[in-house]
Amino acid sequence: MRALSGYSAEELVRILAPLPPYKAREVFKWIARGVRDFEGMTNLGKQEREDLSRRFTLRSTGRDSALADRDGTVKLRVSLRDAAAEAVLLRDKEGRGTACISSQAGCPVGCAFCKTGSLGFLRNLEAGEMVEQVLHIREIGAEQGTEVSHLVVMGMGEPLLNLGELRRAAEIIMDPQGLGVSRRRITVSTSGICAGIRELADSGPHLRLAFSLTSAREELRNALVPIGRDNPLKQVKEALGYYQQTTGQRITLEAVLLGGLNTGAEEAAAMRDFARGLDAVVNLIPWNPVEGLRFRGRALREPSGAETEAFAGLLRQGGLAVTRRFRRGRGVSGACGQLGWTSGGPPR
Ligand code: SF4
């Protein structure tokens, strides 16, 4: 049966006919409010509810196991019809909740430092599967008294390789009658897909954009982020400039710091060169360990605190704005780069 979570209000008007349009729009609102079945839609008639439940379901995914870290992070395994994906509830010091969702089951990019990348690629997620991750995370937040106000598409997968479904999901999530998350509170992180960045600039929605730079030295970057071979840094920078020009937004440059690999003076100089001419802030993400990941024959290691601080200092000396990602969710392997199907074996 078709699940309705992945459709906009106007699509539901068509799909749910002969239900009157104003009632189809009510169904859209009920789904966003988290109702689990048609029975809960109390402003529909009994007969209408029965008809709809014979033809449709509201959701296609389920809340599987959830692991809570001491720092308040919750990692949720979401069961899909044929696989699994992971979504994370992050809570900052002020108690603000952010949902981190996946856009693909697995990932075809294969970054050397990322658990998801080591798993291979299964398929793109559908819009409804992304919307439902937000619903699940919002429900977990509500159970814990955390309002989930922000969204980052930084979980499993490369969102710009699934742009069509991402766009559909974002429309539903941003709709004031739906989940009502403002465009400014949604960030998409990309490994640097030039065509996708340009398409997002041209066709919207103009979400906040983060580029996972990691190294501005092309040879090292291409080894760490293989998709870089098809998306050279010069072209990525041009695409980011175009996005910035089109949207007027500041770009975030993310750098996963790998001890002894991309934390030296040469790297800092290359990053400063890359950022020149962009309105950008660099977000440093000390690598979160993933067992078994090796690079050029050696085990990867996380940078020491001093290494990270020294690197941040070198960037700042060059006039760059630098922030540091707080480590959250490591206790449940729910931190950046650690997502996979850890809580129950491989996907079905
Ligand atoms: S870091 Fe992102 S793009 Fe790279 S393999 Fe992991 S999920 Fe894919």
- Write the pLDDT tens digit of every residue in 229-259: 999 999 999 999 999 999 999 999 999 999 9
Centre of ligand 1 from the C-alpha of residue 114, in Å: 6
Counting from 1 in the atom list of ligand 1, the atom nearest the Cα of 225 is 4
pLDDT at 346 over 50: no
Centre of ligand 1 from the C-alpha of residue 117, in Å: 5
- pLDDT at residue 344, rounded to an integer: 43
Counting from 1 in the atom list of ligand 1, the atom nearest the Cα of 108 is 8
Known catalytic membership, residue 111: no
Known catalytic membership, residue 86: yes
- pLDDT at residue 347, rounded to an integer: 42
What are the phi and psi torsion angles at 338 (to 5°)?
A: -105, 5
Q: Minimal CA–CA distance to 194: which of 232, 165, 248, 166?
A: 232
* pLDDT average, residue stretch 310-323: 96
Domains of the chain: 2-57 (1.10.150), 62-332 (3.20.20.70)
Dist CA 111 CA 266 (whole Å)? 21
* pLDDT average, residue stretch 313-332: 85
- pLDDT at residue 341, rounded to an integer: 57
Centre of ligand 1 from the C-alpha of residue 247, in Å: 25
* pLDDT average, residue stretch 96-109: 96
- Write the pLDDT tens digit of every residue in 137-146: 999 999 999 9
Dist CA 301 CA 96 (whole Å)? 31
- Write the pLDDT tens digit of every residue in 187-234: 999 999 999 999 999 999 999 999 999 999 999 999 999 999 999 999
Of 26, 48, 86, 126, the active-site residue reads 86
pTM: 0.94
- pLDDT at residue 312, rounded to an integer: 97
Per-residue tokens: 341: 């199907």
Work out the mean pLDDT of the chain and round it to a whole number. Answer: 93
Q: Indicate the top mutation candidate among 104, 114, 154, 161 to test ligand 1's pocket, ranked by most ligand atoms within 8 A of CB.
A: 114
* pLDDT average, residue stretch 32-47: 95
Q: Is residue 167 within 8 Å of 203, Cβ to Cβ?
A: yes
- pLDDT at residue 92, rounded to an integer: 87
* Residue 221 CB partners (closer than 8 Å, separation 6+): 213, 214, 215, 228, 233
